[in-house]
Amino acid sequence: MKQFFKSAIKILLIFVILTVNFQTAYSSNYDELQAQINTKKELLEQLEAEEAKYNEELSKTQATKGTLSTELKKIKANLDNLNFKIKVTNTQIETLTLEIDKLGLETRNTEQEIDFKKEIMAKNIRNLYEQDHSGTLIAMFLKNDSLSDTMLDVENMINFGKGIEEALLELQMLKEDLKNQKIETEAKKKSMQAAQVNLSSQKKIVSVVQNEKTDLLNQTKSQEKNYQNLLSEIEKNRMDIEAEMSRLEEALKAEIDPNLLPKGEKGILQQPVKGIISQGYGITAASKYFYSKGNYKTIAHNGVDFAASVGTTVYAAEDGEVIAVGNQDKYCYRRGFGKFIVIKHNNNLTTLYAHLSLQLVKVGDTIKRGEAIGYVGNTGFSTGPHLHFSVYFGPTFRMSSISTCGLTPIGGTVNPMSYI
């Protein structure tokens, strides 16, 4: 019996030595990765604080009066902001890479620890089984000089069995740790994939904005007079377009059936972008102002505007199918919704996302709530970067041909804030 316990102790000692050596190397690598992650996180915090100031300065730039010089300054500010976003995204990717490496290290450590413990337990259980099937108790009585020695061996055997039971519980806990580590790794990999899509998209948007600058300079021949003439032409045509849209949408509002609309509960739709509301739905202070100045042909605003910088991610407000993707700047420059996306949902609502800089989806795509679909821009008729978000009673929505602006999204609108 004593030989059995000596064998078990020897196996445990080998395990302890191997574990100590492995843990020393693991701890060193782990601590190094954690230090790098902490440094990157501190940098991200600094960048986030800097981004808030950046956005404040950007807002001031966008509010300046419409001259060619100020328009070029706005474009430069948008490009600077985009390059800053690229810097942030690169830092996020570097941080995620380190975190995934750290999780990989933790996972390998846990897997090896599980393998070690399984091996030790298997050997000890085999020894215990062999002892138990060779008349252990009788043998102990015969070979021990006293009953007390026999009782001590029995107690050691019971304690050893308890030790195996505790090791089994520890093994279960290690397996649960491994499961959680793998789940966290998958989540980090998804975040990495999203960050890489963001980085690629932000670089594309930089190219788009640079092309917009080139187009503007070509159209105006870099002359202020030409720019003002362009603005006048845009404004005249835009007001005609808006008047026509308003007539069509007012008629379609009469077709809204309140019984078929979802009950006005918050959370039916999620807010499509991280940003503040710069203009609400219906008759607002801004819509009254623009109406009084002749900028709007109707006093009511048919959606909600969320102010956000160019390149800010836009998300689907609910599950649905993409039924329209377009760019009105191709056929009525700066007069309509610019780049837009329309998604039809299964609750009789249809949502419009307008003035985008880049679209990530195409007609026919099935979209999940919260999925990235595009990025905030300044396309179409827009006084500054923002997302225009309209919610239609689905059965009234259509792409209608507007006389100087081609196919345009229209429908009977409802207040988006009743559902967000």
Strands 372-376 and 413-414: what pairing? Answer: unpaired
Residue 303 three-state SS:
coil
DSSP labels, 239-265 = HHHHHHHHHHHHHHHTT--GGGSPP--
For range 182-205, the mean pLDDT: 97
Q: E strand or H helix at 294, and its extent?
A: none
Q: What is the reported pLDDT for 411?
A: 97
Percent of the chain with pLDDT over 90: 54
**Hunting for tokens 């808030």 — which residue is that?**
52
The pLDDT score that the predictor gives to residue 412 is 96
91 sits in which H/E element: helix 68-132
What pLDDT, on the 0 to 100 scale, is given for residue 283?
77
* Mean pLDDT across 313-321: 98
Q: What is the DSSP string of 214-230?
A: HHHHHHHTT-HHHHHHH
Residue ranges matching CATH 2.70.70.10 in the chain: 223-418
Q: How does pLDDT run across 253-293, given as a tens digit for each residue?
A: 999 999 999 987 789 999 999 989 988 998 766 556 555 55
| pLDDT tens, position by position, 104-144 | 999 999 998 888 888 877 776 676 666 555 445 445 444 54
Asked which of 187-196, 238-247, 356-365 is least confident by mean pLDDT, the reply is 238-247
Amino acid making up residue 389: F
Residue 187, burial from CB neighbour count under 10 angstroms (0-12, 13-18, 19+): exposed
What gap in Å lies between CA 416 and CA 420, rounded to an integer?
6
Greatest Cα pair distance in the chain: 116
Residue-level pLDDT at 147: 47
- pLDDT given at position 118: 82
Q: Would you state the pLDDT for residue 156? A: 55
Provide the pLDDT for residue 161.
59
User: In this predicted structure, what is the pLDDT of residue 165?
Assistant: 72
- As a whole number of angstroms, the distance between CA 371 and CA 105 comes to 31
Alpha-carbon separation of residue 364 from 143, 331, 337 (angstroms): 83, 23, 21
CA distances from 221 to 65, 207, 224, 227 (A): 20, 21, 9, 9
pLDDT at 14: 54
Q: How far apart, in whole angstroms, are the C-alpha atoms of residue 418 and residue 280?
A: 12
The domain covering 223-418 belongs, at the CATH homologous superfamily level, to Glucose Permease (Domain IIA) (2.70.70.10)
Structure confidence at residue 260 (pLDDT): 95
Helices and strands in the chain: count of H runs, count of E runs: 6, 14
Whole-number pLDDT of residue 188 = 97
Q: How many CA atoms lie within 13 A of 111 on its CB side?
A: 9
pLDDT at 142: 47
Task: Supply the mean pLDDT for the chain.
Answer: 84
pLDDT digits (tens, 9 = 90+) for 232-264: 888 878 788 888 888 899 899 999 999 999 987
Please tell me the pTM assigned to this model.
0.81
- Residue 377 is given by DSSP the state B
Residue 21's pLDDT is 55
pLDDT at 29: 86
Nearest 5°: the CA angle 108, 113, 117 is 150
Q: How long, in residues, is the chain? A: 420
Average pLDDT on 142-166 reads 55
Confidence of residue 168 (pLDDT cuts 50, 70, 90): confident
Beta bridge partners of 372: 315
Q: Is the pLDDT of residue 158 over 70?
A: no
User: Residue 294: is its pLDDT beyond 70?
Assistant: no
Task: Report the run of H or E that residue 327 belongs to, with start and end.
Answer: strand 320-327
pLDDT greater than 80 at residue 17: no
